[in-house]
Amino acid sequence: MNIPAPLSLLLLSGVLHAGSLPQLDDKPWTGWFAAHEARKFTFGVHNNGEGQFLPELERGKKTSTSYAIEFEPVIEELRGGGKIVTKKNERNGWEAVTEASAEAEKIVYRGTSTGGAKFEVTLEVDGKEIRGGGRILDRGELTEHPIQLAIRVKVPNVYRHKKDDERVEDLAKRDDVRLVRVDGKELKFDALEPVDAASAAVTGPGVREVRVDLEGYKGQRIDMAAGEGGRFELWNYEKRPLYKGFTVGWKHDPAKDPEGKARFSFVMK
């Protein structure tokens, strides 16, 4: 059988051998595919394809994973009436492009969703900044409706272990979330204010910048920018205060970025 040269190189490199991502065996990285330890945070990707940003909130002390911000890549199917159906990632559908590493600065890997759609994710660490992007490689059987690649950045409820509601409200009273939408409209939400993050009044046509100030992160602020090849959409489970957690989903725009070179940025400072 004659195999075209580019495909033969991929076969030799093992990129097309789907399964779980390879994992590091040495502590503390057991279960990680790739990781990067910086002065004030740890970032990496577990062998299930999910990224994790863990800030250092107290110097020299390990931070609880309850403060971790997750980066989840998914395929979304766009049904009629604005309905979005999330396709589950196949547990054994992951493929490593870059090598497993505990000193990773660029992490590239591929995944497969139910329905056979294949996608590629790129995550990069540059100083304090995390950059992310990706592209759909193959629609598989998902041809009836439009699909898109999303990378969901999940901001947790950093006060969930505090049992005193009055204490939580006292801590969160100065917290806020600020947005700049793609139509130029600027919005600011008190973190105690109940918000339907996915509503047209909030996300609207999409968001290009997000700023998150939460006292639970010890005065550190999160800044996110969608870049030119995508947009953000916000989401939470129901209309509720944003301090209880919400998701900033980056949606790739293949019309603007057919080669998958666009990146969104995430910085905690």
Query: 205 — phi, psi (to 5°)?
Result: -80, 0
**Residue 52 belongs to some domain of the structure:** no
In single-letter form, the type of residue at position 27 comes to K
Give domain status of residue 45, yes or no. no
- The reply to whether 246 falls in a domain is yes
Give the model confidence (pLDDT) of 11-64 as tens digits: 334 454 568 899 999 899 999 999 999 999 999 999 999 999 999 998 888 899
Residue 8: predicted pLDDT: 35
Q: Where are the beta strands (DSSP E) in the chain?
A: 32-37, 41-46, 51-55, 69-78, 84-87, 95-96, 106-112, 118-126, 129-138, 147-155, 176-181, 186-190, 194-195, 207-213, 221-225, 230-235, 240-241, 246-252, 264-268
Whether 19 is covered by a domain: the verdict is no
In a domain, 183, yes or no: yes
pLDDT tens profile 190-239: 999 999 999 999 999 999 999 999 999 998 999 999 999 999 999 998 99
**How does residue 4 score in pLDDT terms, banded at 50, 70 and 90?**
very low
* Domain presence at residue 243: yes
Please check whether residue 153 lies inside any domain of the structure: yes
Residue at 3 is within a domain = no
pTM attached to this predicted model: 0.91
**pLDDT digits over 74-103, tens only?**
999 999 888 999 999 999 999 999 999 999
Write phi, then psi, for 172 (nearest 5 degrees).
-90, -5
Q: For the chain, how many structural domains are there in total?
A: 1
8 A C-beta contact, residue 201 and residue 193? no
Q: Which domain holds residue 71?
A: 65-91+111-119+126-268
- Is the pLDDT assigned to residue 7 strictly greater than 60? no
Q: What is the pLDDT of residues 94-131, one digit of tens each?
A: 999 999 999 999 999 999 999 999 999 999 999 999 99
